[in-house]
Structures are given as structure tokens and as C-alpha cells.
Amino acid sequence: MTTLLDLAPARRSGQSRGIASICSAHPDVIGTTLAHGRKRGREVLIEATCNQVNQEGGYTGMTPADFRRFVFEKAEVAGYETAGLILGGDHLGPNPWRHLEAEEAMAKAEAMMAAYVAAGFGKIHLDASMGCKGEPEALDDETTARRAARLTKVAEQTARDNGLPLPVYIIGTEVPVPGGAWHALDGLQPTAASAARQTIETHRTVFRQQGVEAALERVIGLVVQPGVEFGHEDVVVYQPEKARDLVGVLGDEPSLVFEAHSTDYQPREKLARLVADGFAILKVGPGLTFAWREALYGLDLIAGELDASYGERPLAKAMEALMLAEPGYWQRYYQGDAASQHVLRHYSYSDRIRYYWPHPAAAGAVARLAQALSGRTLPPTLVHQFLPAAAEHAGRLDMAACLSLAIRAVLDDYAEATAAQ
């Protein structure tokens, strides 16, 4: 965990550096990320969220131990040395069970925490800020901190029982919930400096009261809202002047950095400025699968041009049929008339289509595309037409290379932005 522990000292020494947090369970994203990390000689931080991976399987069907095996298998294929691999648990708290009474939800959160730490997840984001059944939607700082301290006790004991290094922790949360906003982004403001200070001080006080003060030495960061977000069709980019007071908090907190969520789609120069201002951990997830889907849809068009028997956009049509048949992942998020919802299902920055790729129908459609393009080097003219971002590589691309290139383009932005400045 040297990389994470070094972030605040590097900032104090005047050499800001950061790390991208890859929040995805997509096989191509994970595999490409690890290959990218090997090529650049960089540590790789991969995180799973409480809803995505938990002791009950989450929406991926994976427990923390399953997820670790999955990532390590990808690392072996990519030739990435796992000594440089950091696994993190994001938003670990009662969120998946908030429909239950608080005590029952917290008991499940404790079991989840134990499963994450026992599986070797060394970076833990403590997030007990959400209310459970009969409680306010967002809890006050003291209640949040008490529940975070309770989860920290479990994490610390589990690490000791399993002979594992003690975790490092991130405290605080951000609004909205993980995955991007699904409401209007008008008036988005950074976290108030006073609110950030209160969160820090309340956690310190409560952790001491609850007997987990030793863990405070390993609280390395605070999740705040720097004033960045993405919605379905728009992106709010970082404006340093609006975050000036918030950034000033780090002047009084030399042991901490900020963690910024929903940094997807930020321009590279904005990512670099976030790191320079102390937002040393940059979360990215939907932006990676969005880039992968974008390339996949371009390949769907290329295959139709190369082989009339393939048909007209059968992959996109298969995804439309699947999402209409099983609307649970998008229906309450995408508003508007039928035409607007159609566009959002496929092209929203929220990228809720990512939940459907593991489905057998989607996997079958991707496999059919792969078969149509098997053994083909894509004609340069079709690459220029349908995958213009890959045009400079035209003449030497196949399907796998196109998909990898799309993901790598996003990873390159984060690698450059988080390099020592």
C-alpha cells in the first residue's frame, strides 16, 4: 500500500501525484487496465462497490473473494505483477440493505466488510452515510461516523485474524450516489470547506471514543465533491476557482488527500489540475465502458459494410431488444419520450447499458460480431469512417485491438494526469 500512503507526503513535499481508481468489473476493462499498468510500470488500483460485489454476490454475482480471483486471473494473462495491484472496496456500508432496519443492515455491512478485508482488499472507503428503513435519506456526521467506526473495528480485527496488512481508509461520501447523476446538474457546487472540516473532526472524535483511534493513522483521504459530475448528456468540468476554499482545507490536514468520484469524461488537463489541487485519487468507471461500447458500435457498422449477411447493426438491435425486455437497470433513470429514452439507453454518459453486457443475449451478439470480423484486419477507410478516434492506427487494427485502444485512450488521460507534477 506504499503508493496510497505516499500521496499526502508527496503533496507536502511539493510534488503532487495521484492514482486512478478503476471502478469496473468489465473483463475487457480490467484486462486492458492491467496490461496498460504493466506497459507503463505503474501501480494499478481496482475497486469494487458494495452493490456490485458483496457477500451475497451483488449485481455481478461475485463475492469479494470471487472478484479478487477474477482480477488476479486477468493480471496473469496481462503479465502484470500483482505486487503492484491494489484492491479497494468502495462505499462499504449498509447501502445494499438500506430497505432494512438499521441494525439488520449494519450487521450485513459488517459481514461484507469482513469478506472484503479477508479477501485482501487493502483500501476501504467507509460510507455509512445513507439512512436505513425509517431514517432520513442522508444521516448526520455523528451517526455516520459511529457506524463507520463500527465497520472499522470489523476491518481491523479481520485483517489481524488473517495475518494481513491493516487497511488504509477513506472517509466521507459524495452526492449523488455512485454511477453519475440522473437529475439536472444545474447549480452543482463543491463541498463547503466547513463541511469537510466537520466530517474530518467528527470522525476523529468518534473513532477515539469507539477505541479505533489507531486506524486514524491510516485514514488517508476524504471523499468530497470538487464540482465535477456527469449526467446523461452533459459533463460539469472542474473549475478550480470554485473549489479554492475546499482545497484550502488540505493546508491544515497534511496527512490527507481528497478522493474525487465521478471524474469520468473530464478533459486530461482538468484531471491534472484536480491532482495538483490535492484530489489525488480519481475515480473512473462508466467512462471506460462507454469508450468500449462506442468502439463496439463502430465495429458493428464496419461488419455490416464488410459482409451483407451480417445485417444492419445486429449488435445494437440485440441490445435494444434486451434492454426493452429487461428494463430494470435503466427505466427509472431515463426520462422523456420513447425516442429520447432510446438514445439514452445506448448513448447516455451514465452508461447504464454496461449492466447488460454479461447477459447471455448480449454476450451472444458480441460473439457474433467477433465471428464476422474474425481474421480480418480492418480496412483503413472503414476505420476512418466509423472509428475516427483510431484513424492514426488504421491499417493494422482488428476487433480486439480497436476495443483495447478505446479503453487505453481513457487510461492514458488518467496516467498522464496522475504522474508526478
Secondary element (H or E) of residue 169: strand 168-171
Res. 175: pLDDT tops 70: no
Write down the pLDDT at residue 3.
Answer: 86
What's the CA gap between 245 and 188, in Å, rounded? 15
Write down the pLDDT at residue 420.
Answer: 80
Q: Which residues pair with 376 in a beta bridge?
A: none
Q: For residue 288, give the C-alpha cell.
A: 471506460
Q: How many CB atoms lie within 10 A of CB 378?
A: 25
Taking only the tens place, the pLDDT of each residue in 324-375 is 999 999 999 999 999 999 999 999 999 999 999 999 999 999 999 999 999 9
Write down the pLDDT at residue 2.
Answer: 64
Write down the pLDDT at residue 269.
Answer: 98
What's the CA gap between 388 and 283, in Å, rounded? 27
Res. 187: pLDDT tops 70: no
Res. 163: pLDDT tops 90: yes
- Rounded to an integer, the average pLDDT of 132-151 is 97
Are 407 and 337 contacting, i.e. CB atoms less than 8 angstroms apart? no
Phi and psi for 23 in degrees, rounded to 5?
A: -110, 85
Report how far apart, in Å, the C-alpha atoms of 64 and of each of 113, 171, 356 are.
Answer: 9, 20, 21
Res. 148: pLDDT tops 90: yes
What's the CA gap between 360 and 357, in Å, rounded? 8
Confidence of residue 272 (pLDDT cuts 50, 70, 90): very high
Taking only the tens place, the pLDDT of each residue in 101-110 is 999 999 999 9
Report how far apart, in Å, the C-alpha atoms of 287 and of each of 262, 354, 389, 390 are.
Answer: 9, 10, 15, 17
Residues of the chain with CATH 1.10.400.20: 290-409
Q: Which residues pair with 87 in a beta bridge?
A: 46
Global confidence as pTM: 0.96
What's the CA gap between 80 and 215, in Å, rounded? 30
Comparing 85-89, 171-175, 230-234, 276-280, which segment has the lowest mean pLDDT?
Answer: 171-175
Write down the pLDDT at residue 285.
Answer: 97
Q: Which amino acid is at 123?
A: K
Taking only the tens place, the pLDDT of each residue in 238-270 is 999 999 999 999 999 999 999 999 999 999 999
**Which residue matches cell numbers 469478506?**
115
Domain 1-284 has CATH 3.20.20.70: yes
In the 8-state DSSP scheme, what is residue 173? -
Confidence of residue 20 (pLDDT cuts 50, 70, 90): very high
Confidence of residue 185 (pLDDT cuts 50, 70, 90): low
Number of DSSP helices (H) and strands (E) in the chain, helices first: 15, 10
Write down the pLDDT at residue 421.
Answer: 77
In the 8-state DSSP scheme, what is residue 256? -
Q: Which residues pair with 409 in a beta bridge?
A: none
What's the CA gap between 358 and 370, in Å, rounded? 16
CATH number of 290-409: 1.10.400.20
Residues of the chain with CATH 3.20.20.70: 1-284
